[in-house]
């Protein structure tokens, strides 16, 4: 079931002007890229909000997963690939961004967090608006605080993002992994 597959992406020579500035600046300053699941459901929304919160702390900054995944010639992609650490916050069971990232970025540089393990009560919901905005923000803060705590401890993920726990905690009892 864990078969690899390829996804063809139409190439482009285009670059995002602000992505070029941010990617170059963050790389030069040694900032750590953070990106997340941004799926169209409540779980992706919480992961996205949490990533935004983590990226406001030093030495982290928000990276664009779209550029990293689809435009390998950009400064944003170069920053992620050459950074010593890259933080990914996945939002659901699929672990999409972690699975993609571990095939683009050296695995020992990745710190992949399983956000869903902290907000399982939303597993049966899809609509972002099914959770009030304030509760979404509070839950994202919980995830961001856990991610920052684990990063501060210097703990790295133990297993692959391919359907296995990958939250940065040393064991499931640490409260991050399912």
The predicted structure's pLDDT at residue 155: 53
Please check the confidence at residue 23 and state whether its pLDDT lies above 60: yes
46 vs 57: CA distance, rounded Å: 18
pTM: 0.86
116 vs 123: CA distance, rounded Å: 8
Residues 6+ apart with CB under 8 A from 102: 110, 112, 160, 161, 162
The predicted structure's pLDDT at residue 33: 98
Is the distance from CB of 140 to CB of 132 less than 8 angstroms?
Answer: no
Over residues 52-69, the pLDDT tens digits come to: 999 999 999 999 999 999
Is the distance from CB of 37 to CB of 43 less than 8 angstroms?
Answer: yes
Over residues 99-128, the pLDDT tens digits come to: 999 999 999 999 999 999 888 889 899 999
Q: Crossing angle for the helix pair 42-54 and 133-153, nearest 10 degrees?
A: 50
Cα 113 to its chain centre, rounded Å, is 7
In 3D space, the residue among 19, 17, 45 whose CA is nearest the CA of residue 33 turns out to be: 19
The predicted structure's pLDDT at residue 119: 87
């Amino acid at each position: 079931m864990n078969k690899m597959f390829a996804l063809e992406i139409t190439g482009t020579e285009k670059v995002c002007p602000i992505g070029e500035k941010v990617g170059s600046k963050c790389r030069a300053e040694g900032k750590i890229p953070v990106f997340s699941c941004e799926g169209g459901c409540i779980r992706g929304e919480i992961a996205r909000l949490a990533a935004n919160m983590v990226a406001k702390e030093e030495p982290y900054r928000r990276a664009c997963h779209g550029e990293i995944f689809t435009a390998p010639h950009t400064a944003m992609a170069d920053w992620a690939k050459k950074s010593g650490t890259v933080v990914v916050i996945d939002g659901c069971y699929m672990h999409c961004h972690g699975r993609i990232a571990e095939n683009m970025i050296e695995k020992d540089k990745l710190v992949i967090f399983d956000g869903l393990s902290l907000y399982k009560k939303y597993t049966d919901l899809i609509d972002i608006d099914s959770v009030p905005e304030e509760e979404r923000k509070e839950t994202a803060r919980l995830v961001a605080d856990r991610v920052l705590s684990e990063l501060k401890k210097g703990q790295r993920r133990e297993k692959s993002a391919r359907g296995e726990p990958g939250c940065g905690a040393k064991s499931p009892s640490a409260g991050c992994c399912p």
